Amino acid sequence: MSLDISDVGNLHQGNGPESPNDETINHLLAKGTWKIDDNQSLIGNLRYYNNCAQQPNNPKQSFSGHDNLMTDRSTILQ
């Protein structure tokens, strides 16, 4: 079983400024095998990924404001 939880803040851009970012990533991977008898087994896998973020609508701009509003972005895989 593997569990990973990450919390990310502002992004540092190569040209110096920071881009606002608030992101939380949760990832779980679990595998298991149940051996019923010598000839049979049952195998199960579970994968869960959740990325919940608040980022500028245009991530190429280094600021948020009237022209670049903050946007809720979410990705969930099960």
Is the pLDDT score of 77 beyond 90?
A: no
Residue 75 pLDDT class (50, 70, 90 cuts): confident
Tell me the per-residue pLDDT of 47-59, one tens digit each, with 9 for 90 and over. Answer: 999 988 887 777 6
Q: What percent of the chain has pLDDT over 90?
A: 42
**Distant-in-sequence, close-in-space partners of 44: CB < 8 Å, separation ≥ 6:** 31, 32, 33, 34
Would you give the DSSP letter of residue 61?
S
Distance separating alpha carbons of residues 6 and 30, to the nearest angstrom? 18
What's the token pair of residue 46? 């579970």
Which residue range is the domain that position 17 belongs to? Answer: 2-77
pTM, entire model: 0.61
Domain count within the chain: 1
